[in-house]
Amino acid sequence: MKRIGYTWNDEYRKQFFESPKVQAHLAEFIERAKQPKSPETREKMSRAKLGKAKSAEHKARLSESHKFRQSLRRDIETLHPDLPEHTIWTMVREEMSNVNSD
pLDDT tens for each residue of 44-65 = 999 999 989 999 999 999 999 9
Whether 43 maps to a domain, the answer reads no
The whole-number pLDDT of residue 12 equals 86
Could you tell me if residue 60 is inside a domain?
Answer: yes
Number of domains composing the chain = 1
Q: Domain range holding 20?
A: 10-35+55-101
In a domain, 79, yes or no: yes
Report yes or no on 41 lying in a domain. Answer: no
- Return all residues near 6 (Cβ < 8 A) that are at least 6 apart: 12
Report DSSP state, residue 50.
T
Low-confidence ranges of the chain (pLDDT < 70): 1-3, 102
What gap in Å lies between CA 34 and CA 100, rounded to an integer?
Answer: 21
Classify residue 27: in a domain, yes or no: yes
The CA distance from 52 to 98, in Å, is: 31
- Which 3 state secondary structure label does DSSP give 91? helix
